[in-house]
């Protein structure tokens, strides 16, 4: 293959990598193309957090045609075991003859190690092809490296005028079936899901994954006074582990009773309007190694994460309907603001429709 052909194939790998946007963070977006004799024999990309890496997806697509092929990868193949086995091992086992990658892995556990592993098995390696173009795929990954909290995804579904329920609490259903199914896909991508005690008391949710393949996330509740009812469905830890975050002065006997049922109860300090969110997030990552956390509500909890700027993405579903009622319940609640300059600016990453609903992928604007 010539240099021009190599560059064209790497650009295709970069385009494939972008398909993972919004679904793999804080992992990097990665794409891979396998080619042999100027023919593409396999394509793959990292599609879901915790799912197969791009190289593995491309090798599966190629099958036996991967033997003797060249792999074009946007990021140095991983060489250590994480949520999945090393991609270097997969490339060696498949009989790939050559690996061309764009960017060196910024993770110090991996950086530069792939070359020695691959070359030790007789595979030719070239690094740095279109590295500058591939660097943009790593922005979120670099941001998350070394942090002591999960990647936080906020989710809410509302009417066009920002309402999630009528004054009576009726909210079934704001969005259509396709949008609701996508929420369950997001739950399957995340290692944890968090709500406030208000949501537990109002809806008695299970917070499990339904209708799509994937594991149930760990469940977390901000419950300062340990008011979660004994009959709450999420206290069934056979479905998924459950942790309640409470205030230091929460009732000790109630705490013991919950722990006897297998529920973890963790006390954290207070903040101005509730529990210390940063302490909660550190506990979630430190105790359970949760890399991606979905925050589903309610309005006060979502408002707190927004107000304190403690989130990385927002996935918003807007139904084409209006309540136009001042007493209908808002999607987010917070303190009174007097000036528009106090608003949080968001960057629109992606938009589309699901059924009849609008889907928005956003993140806080980075200056």
Active site residues: 55
288 burial via Cβ count (<10 Å: 0-12, 13-18, 19+)? middle
Q: Which of 105, 112, 98, 111 is nearest to 135 (CA)?
A: 105
| Greatest extent of the chain over all pairs of C-alpha atoms, in Å | 72
What span, in angstroms and rounded, lies between the C-alpha atoms of 366 and 277?
21
What span, in angstroms and rounded, lies between the C-alpha atoms of 83 and 102?
23
Structure tokens at 192: 């944890």
What span, in angstroms and rounded, lies between the C-alpha atoms of 238 and 206?
12
Angle between the N-to-C axes of helices 87-94 and 54-62, in degrees from 0 to 180, rounded to the nearest 10: 20
């Amino acid at each position: 293959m010539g240099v021009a052909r190599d560059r064209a194939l790497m650009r295709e790998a970069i385009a494939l990598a972008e398909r993972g946007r919004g679904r793999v963070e804080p992992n990097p977006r990665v794409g891979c193309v396998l080619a042999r004799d100027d023919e593409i024999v396999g394509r793959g990309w990292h599609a879901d957090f915790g799912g197969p890496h791009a190289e593995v997806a491309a090798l599966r697509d190629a099958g036996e045609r991967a033997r003797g092929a060249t792999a074009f990868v946007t990021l140095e193949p991983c060489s250590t075991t994480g949520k999945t086995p090393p991609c270097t091992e997969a490339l060696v086992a498949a009989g790939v003859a050559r690996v061309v990658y764009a960017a060196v892995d910024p993770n110090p556990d991996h950086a530069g190690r792939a070359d020695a592993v691959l070359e030790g098995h007789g595979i030719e390696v070239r690094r740095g092809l279109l590295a500058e173009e591939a660097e943009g795929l790593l922005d979120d990954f670099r941001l998350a490296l070394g942090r002591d909290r999960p990647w936080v995804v906020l989710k809410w579904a509302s009417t066009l005028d920002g309402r999630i329920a009528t004054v009576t609490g009726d909210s079934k259903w704001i969005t259509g079936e396709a949008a609701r199914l996508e929420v369950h896909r997001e739950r399957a991508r995340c290692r944890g899901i968090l709500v406030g005690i208000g949501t537990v008391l109002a809806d008695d949710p299970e917070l499990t994954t339904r209708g799509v393949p994937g594991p149930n996330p760990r469940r977390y509740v901000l419950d300062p006074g340990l008011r979660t009812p004994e009959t709450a469905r999420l206290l069934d830890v056979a479905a998924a582990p459950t942790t309640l975050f409470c205030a230091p002065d929460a009732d000790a006997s109630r705490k013991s009773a919950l722990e006897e049922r297998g529920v973890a109860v963790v006390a954290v300090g207070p903040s101005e309007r509730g529990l210390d969110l940063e302490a909660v997030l550190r506990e979630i990552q430190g105790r359970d190694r949760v890399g991606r956390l979905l925050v589903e509500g309610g309005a006060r909890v979502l408002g707190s994460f927004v107000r304190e700027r403690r989130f990385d993405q927002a996935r918003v579903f807007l139904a084409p309907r209006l309540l136009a009622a001042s007493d209908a319940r808002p999607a987010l609640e917070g303190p009174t603001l007097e000036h528009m300059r106090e608003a949080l600016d968001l960057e629109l990453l992606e938009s589309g429709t699901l059924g009849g609903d609008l889907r928005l992928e956003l993140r806080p604007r980075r200056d």
